[in-house]
Amino acid sequence: MGAAIADYYNLHKAGRLRVFSSLFDEDEIPVKDLFRGLKQMPVIEQTALQMAEGKILDVGAGSGCHSLALQEMNKEVCAIDISALSVEVMKKRGVKDARLVNLFDATFHEQFDTILLLMNGSGIIGKIENLPIFFQTMKRLLRPGGCILMDSSDLRYLFEEEDGSYVIDLAGDYYGEIDFQMQYKDIKGDTFDWLYIDFQTLSLYASEFGFQTELIKEGKHYDYLAKLTI
């Protein structure tokens, strides 16, 4: 993704950013969508940016579109990403505080009032079994009274029958655990885990770690924005 972002910024065009999964047919991410402005963003993302307060952490910031929108609102934001190319582009685009940081790096110790995880931001958790380390990390990075604003999707619609019922294997892995791999030109990334989590499951796990969960907004296709506070 970083290579695609760099090409689009430097050349004003990019090739196909292909997405593979063992569960889905090949897909494609339109690279120009990663550079959208506030007005082009889904209502869920616009709502999260408007709600973000204080010192904000933009996780998996990509091209920096959310951070730039926040800066235009005169808000303080730190943008982090694990792609060096993405961080370089963010800096060139004017993101004031863009860093090459992994959210789960134990040496990352700053504290924030709002942590943003957008564009199916729950994906960074990877698997249900990683929720404990995720919430421990959030507690380390959040100031007292701080909050997480995170969007996700409930993939139950993939298992819907014609009569409206759902057929899900409860004995198997959680149905929102997906594996992905991306390819841009001849650059093929490693396979990675991505978690789509339904609101009820998120709330259940969050409460175990002392977080209160509020459903802020629901989208048109099983997607939602959640606010989690300590």
Contact 93/71 with Cβ under 8 angstroms? no
Query: How many Å apart are CA 128 and CA 103, to the nearest integer?
Result: 17
Residue among 24, 27, 49, 19 at smallest CA distance from 36: 49
**Per-residue pLDDT, 164:** 60
Domains, the chain, ordered by start = 39-174+195-229 (3.40.50.150)
Structure tokens given for 154:
């409930």
Residue among 69, 85, 87 at smallest CA distance from 77: 69
**Per-residue pLDDT, 157:** 79
Identity of the amino acid at 79: A
Contact 52/58 with Cβ under 8 angstroms? no
Query: How many Å apart are CA 214 and CA 230, to the nearest integer?
Result: 12
The conformation of residue 191, written as its DSSP 8-state character, comes to: P
Length of the chain: 230
Identity of the amino acid at 105: D
**Per-residue pLDDT, 183:** 98
**Per-residue pLDDT, 173:** 85
Structure tokens given for 82:
């694990």
Mean pLDDT in consecutive groups of 10 residues from the start of the chain, 230 residues: 97 96 94 96 97 98 98 98 98 98 95 97 97 97 97 86 62 88 96 97 97 96 95
